[in-house]
Every structure is written in structure tokens, then in C-alpha cells.
Amino acid sequence: MKRVLLSAAGILACTAIFAQGRTDFPMKPEMTEIWDPQISVITPGETPSNAPSDAIVLFDGQNLSTEWTNNDGTEPGWNVADGCATVKKGAGVIKTKRQFNDFQLHIEWRSPVEVIGESQGRGNSGVFLQGIYEVQVLDNFNNRTYRNGQAGSLYKQHPPLVNACKGPGVWQVYDIIYTAPRFNPNGTFFTPPTVTVLHNGVLVQNHVALRGPTEYIGIPEYSVKPHGAGPIVLQDHGNPVSFRNIWIREL
């Protein structure tokens, strides 16, 4: 109870400080200590890539149909073998059955070991946040393409800060922190969607704001149809890109 009172006093003190920018009474350390509510305790995974205890596992390498469907709601048409799911050309996108707003997403991907094609034609797939905002997946290991379309880009909107690609056939990691947009009544963003991406543990997108849904052609529109929660969608771009160890934490 004493701590609760201290925390309440601390909040009041902080409010006064932030409001005025100064205090006209002597501050004590505990006045800026906030104790409640207590931070939730979770068990981290054995390695940073393993799902923590409060994550929803979207794909464990075995069963894709528990959490995913084709775009039309039928069983996902991708190939599942050797602990991963691989794009089956022509089968189309797969999407999560669940819908998400703000989240932390961990996803591992691997471009084909056999290098075929160049630029956007090599190991192309994508992770669509809420189904409409693409984090590009591409084999950019010794493969030049336009900077705002390479691996780790928010496609056609934000190039990655660096190229952190590993080679073809090597597993790579995206850790994506996403904050969904909030909308004005007229359909414009009150706050746009924002995205932070770590590629193989390296920061490649630092809390960037999106203009609108990903567009292959043309300028993304600020004015979009307001939307609520949406699925994670993985792209079929015709290249046999593989995915594994997909988990998400709703924020």
C-alpha cells in the first residue's frame, strides 16, 4: 500500500513537472518512481528467435492450416516439408486466420539456394502487415535492385537503412514492430501506420510512417478506406521462398 501511495505521489509529481517544466519544491527520488501496475513477467525463449511464452505461434514448422488459409479461405496451398513452408508458384498468397492491430512479429525466411533471376525476380516474396502494407522479402545478396524495393524495404515507400542480407539458401530473420493507423472520420490517417524492422538483428527501419497501402504502380494515397484489424499475408511472387518459426505478440 505504501508503494501504491508513493506511485500515486510520483505520478502527480511527474504530471506537475511535465506541465510546468520545473518544480518549486524539493524533489525526492521516490517521487519519480512508478510502481504500479507491475510489469508483466514472461519467460523468454532459449534464444532470441524462439517464441517467448506470451507469443501466438503462427507456424511451428509442421502445420500451416491451423493458423493460415489461402486468400479464399481454403486450405493453404503452399508446400510444408522439412520444418518450413515454401511458396508454391501460382497457389497465391496465404494469410492468417487471426486479425491483428498492433504487434511484434518474428518471421524467418530463406531465399532459394538455386539462384535464378535478378533484381525483383530473385527470391521475391513479402510480409504484408494488416494485409496491405508490405515489408519486402527479396534475395539482395549481390543482387542490385531499386533501393526502395529491396529486402527490408517498406515497398516503394522506405528503403532499408542497410542491406543486411545473408546469402541464398541461408535462413534470415525479420523482427517487425507495427503500430496500426488510427483514422479521422473522413478516412485520412489521424496517425499513420508506423513500422520498425530488424533484419537479422540489424535495425533497417526505424519507426517509419507509411503514406498508405503498398502500391506497385503509382503514389500511395494518404486517403485510404479506414480499416480495423487485419491478417498477416505472405506473398506468392512466383519464387520458392521458404518461411519458418513465425510468432507474434499483440501489443
Least distance in angstroms from the C-beta of 95 to Mg ion: 15
Q: Which range binds Mg ion by CB under 5 A, 46-54, 58-66, 216-224, 231-239?
A: 231-239
CB 178 within 8 A of CB 140: no
Cell of 219: 503514389
The count of chain residues that interact with Mg ion, using the rule CB under 5 A, is 3
The single residue among 10, 112, 126, 231 that binds Mg ion, judged by CB under 5 A, is: 126
Considering beta carbons, is residue 96 or 125 the nearer one to Mg ion? 125
**Exposed, middle or buried: residue 11 (CB in 10 Å: 0-12, 13-18, 19+)?**
middle
For cell 525476380, the residue is 121
3-state SS, residue 79: strand
Considering beta carbons, is residue 31 or 239 the nearer one to Mg ion? 239
Pairwise CA distance, residues 228 & 15, whole Å? 33
Least distance in angstroms from the C-beta of 155 to Mg ion: 6
Considering beta carbons, is residue 58 or 87 the nearer one to Mg ion? 87
Q: Which residue is nearest to Mg ion (CB)?
A: 126
Least distance in angstroms from the C-beta of 210 to Mg ion: 16
Which of 246, 251, 248 is closest to 80 using CA atoms? Answer: 246
Least distance in angstroms from the C-beta of 18 to Mg ion: 43
Considering beta carbons, is residue 71 or 101 the nearer one to Mg ion? 71
Please give the distance of CA 245 from its chain centroid, rounded to a whole number: 14
Cα three-residue angle 121-126-131, rounded to 5 degrees = 140
Please compute Rg for the chain using Cα positions: 21
Least distance in angstroms from the C-beta of 184 to Mg ion: 30
Considering beta carbons, is residue 235 or 245 the nearer one to Mg ion? 235
Least distance in angstroms from the C-beta of 108 to Mg ion: 16
Which of 119, 250, 114 is closest to 177 using CA atoms? Answer: 250
Q: Which range binds Mg ion by CB under 5 A, 89-97, 107-115, 139-147, 233-241?
A: 233-241
Name residues contacting Mg ion, limited to 127-186 (CB under 5 A).
none
Least distance in angstroms from the C-beta of 226 to Mg ion: 25
CB 63 within 8 A of CB 39: no
Q: Which range binds Mg ion by CB under 5 A, 98-106, 122-130, 165-173, 210-218?
A: 122-130
Considering beta carbons, is residue 55 or 246 the nearer one to Mg ion? 246
Cβ contacts of residue 51 below 8 Å, gap of 6+?
45, 57, 106, 245, 247
Q: Residue numbers of the site for Mg ion (CB under 5 A)?
A: 124, 126, 235
